[in-house]
């Protein structure tokens, strides 16, 4: 059975184009996103929105003054959807098809990189997530910030028994052969019609990963610990942990 590939991920997002387009038009930024963006993003600095989808965060950031912004996504149809909203938002943004593991930008280009709503953890295989993180480091200016979210498999007590069972499956060799490592899942989503791939890390896993790659963790928090999001946000998204990483 073949392993999950980038093509699997592209297909999973193709099934949710209209959901993402609607969220871009109607949902805007979450309260938690607005907090980290206002705290760590500087107006006037070039900004890269990786995994921008149909442009929900890209357009919203542009509206609050981040006019030097590029949005990239691996799924071509997402970029088409983002561009289709140009007239709705009455602005033109540089949207491009792009792969986080091979960014087509020069070193030290951006003051910040955003990878919203667990996009980094949708990259199959740790080796490729490492490549993406190294590419983000490369295109960030010294002093720049990388802002992203993940799930947190140790945070929700309702899933502790599930992860215990998953660990036993991996130890016994009964895991889904399409997956790469413990924490990988093929599951369903609120936003896509077909199965999706997602890696669910622990807090320690991400902290160690960032520091091993030269980043300093400036802040991390579980969304519901600090913010009560609008009902529309909760309907469109699951819980997540925010990460703010700094390139010294």
Instruction: Note whether residue 120 is domain-resident.
Output: yes
Instruction: Note whether residue 32 is domain-resident.
Output: yes
Total number of domains in the chain? 1
Element (H, E) at 101: none
CATH number for the domain spanning 184: value is 3.40.50.150
Domain enclosing residue 181, as ranges: 6-247
Q: How far apart are CA 13 and CA 151, in angstroms?
A: 18
Instruction: Please determine, for residue 137, whether its predicted confidence score (pLDDT) is greater than 90.
Output: yes
Instruction: Note whether residue 173 is domain-resident.
Output: yes
Tell me if 73 sits within 8 A of 97, measured CB to CB.
yes
CB atoms under 10 Å from CB of 138, counted, come to: 14
Instruction: Note whether residue 97 is domain-resident.
Output: yes
At residue 14, the 3 state secondary structure works out as: helix
Instruction: Please determine, for residue 156, whether its predicted confidence score (pLDDT) is greater than 90.
Output: no
pLDDT value at residue 193: 83
Instruction: Note whether residue 197 is domain-resident.
Output: yes
Per residue in 39-95, pLDDT (tens digit) is 999 999 999 999 999 999 999 999 999 999 999 999 999 999 999 999 999 999 999
Instruction: Note whether residue 234 is domain-resident.
Output: yes
Instruction: Note whether residue 16 is domain-resident.
Output: yes
Predicted TM-score (pTM) of the model is 0.97
Q: How far apart are CA 89 and CA 75, in angstroms?
A: 21
Instruction: Please determine, for residue 192, whether its predicted confidence score (pLDDT) is greater than 90.
Output: no
Instruction: Note whether residue 1 is domain-resident.
Output: no
């Amino acid at each position: 059975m073949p392993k999950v590939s980038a093509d699997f991920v592209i297909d999973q997002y193709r099934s949710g184009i209209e959901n993402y387009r609607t969220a871009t038009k109607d949902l805007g930024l979450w309260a938690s996103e607005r907090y980290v963006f206002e705290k760590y993003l500087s107006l006037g600095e070039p900004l890269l929105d990786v995994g921008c989808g149909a442009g929900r965060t890209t357009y919203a950031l542009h509206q609050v003054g981040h006019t030097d912004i590029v949005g990239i996504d691996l799924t071509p149809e997402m970029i088409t959807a983002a561009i289709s909203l140009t007239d709705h938002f009455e602005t033109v943004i540089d949207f491009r098809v792009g792969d986080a593991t091979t960014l087509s930008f020069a070193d030290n280009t951006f003051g910040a990189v955003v990878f919203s709503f667990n996009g980094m953890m949708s990259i199959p295989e740790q080796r490729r997530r490492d490549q993406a993180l190294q590419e983000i480091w490369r295109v960030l200016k010294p002093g720049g910030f990388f802002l992203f979210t993940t799930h947190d498999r140790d945070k929700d007590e309702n899933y502790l028994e599930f992860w215990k069972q998953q660990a036993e499956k991996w130890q016994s060799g009964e895991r889904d052969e399409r997956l790469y490592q413990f924490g990988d899942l093929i599951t369903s989503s609120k936003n896509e019609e077909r199965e999706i791939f997602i890696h669910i890390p622990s807090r320690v896993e991400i902290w160690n990963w960032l520091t091993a790659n030269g980043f300093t963790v400036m802040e991390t928090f579980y969304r519901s610990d600090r913010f009560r999001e609008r009902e529309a946000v909760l309907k469109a998204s699951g819980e997540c942990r925010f990460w703010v990483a700094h390139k010294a």
